[in-house]
Amino acid sequence: MHGFPKRRILTQDESNIQLSEQDGIRALHLGNSMVQSAMRLAAPNDLELIYTRCMMGFMLFHPNPENILMIGLGGGSLAKFVYHRLPRTKTTVIEINPQIVAMARNYFFVPDDDERLQVIIAEGEGYVASHPASADVLMIDGFDDGCQVSSLCSQDFYNRARETLKKKGMLVVNLLSRDKGLQEYLRRIENSFDGHVIVMTAEARGNLIAFAFKQNPAKPAWEELRERAKKLETEFALPFQEYVKKLRRGKIV
């Protein structure tokens, strides 16, 4: 979720899903003027929005996931990035709205399903509850008209999210720092994950990314993380060294 200035509306369907374009950037809006997903037409497989780049910060701790489960497709930015940049990773994306899936594939170049990518039209909470110990990384990016989807931020959901992770799995959640329920959501995540939570501010007064660990990751060895960040930054062209700094400034529970 991210704010953008007004731009030319290309299309809008009956469920108020809007597609717009400005300065070479195509954007998907859900329910209001906020941008849910964005893609630079000249680089469709890159991560355009800062918060999506920050969500990939999980690689500092889990650089080679075998299975990623994503709740919320949007324009498919994260799914595409993983598909094209992590060829050994299998990704399952759960999206409740079939019209969003159609938009993502028709306008945002999300690949068709194959052995490494599967997009399933389903309700995220139910899918998570019925697939224990199935994911190395669970990524949650679920908004409805600018607010967290209530079924994806309850205490029960976060409990089940922990159970859907493998032994060394991680939860990655996109939150809004201005959301009135933010502290309650963080408290629930901390409760479900025994306090093994680190947060990263993506942008001031914008997105906040929570990283939760099924197992205690031990106290971060910052020098080791910095060295890993250098290698990841070279390989993926994302500012992993800055992520380490953000995590050091962030709250470690």
Positions marked catalytic: 141
d(CA 42, CA 217): 38
Rounded to 5°, angle at Cα 100 from 68 and 8: 120
Dihedral over alpha carbons 222, 225, 226, 231 (to 10 degrees): 170
Query: What is the 3-class SS of the chain, one letter each residue?
Result: CECCCCCEEEEECCCCEEEEEECCEEEEEECCCCEEEEEECCCCCCCCCHHHHHHHHHHHCCCCCCEEEEECCCCCHHHHHHHHHCCCCEEEEEECCHHHHHHHHHHCCCCCCCCCEEEEECCHHHHHHCCCCCEEEEEECCEECCEECHHHCCHHHHHHHHHHEEEEEEEEEEEECCCCCHHHHHHHHHHHCCCCEEEEECCCCCEEEEEEECCCCCCCCHHHHHHHHHHHHHHHCCCHHHHHHHHHHCCEC
Tokens 């998907």 -> residue? 28
Residues found in the chain: 253
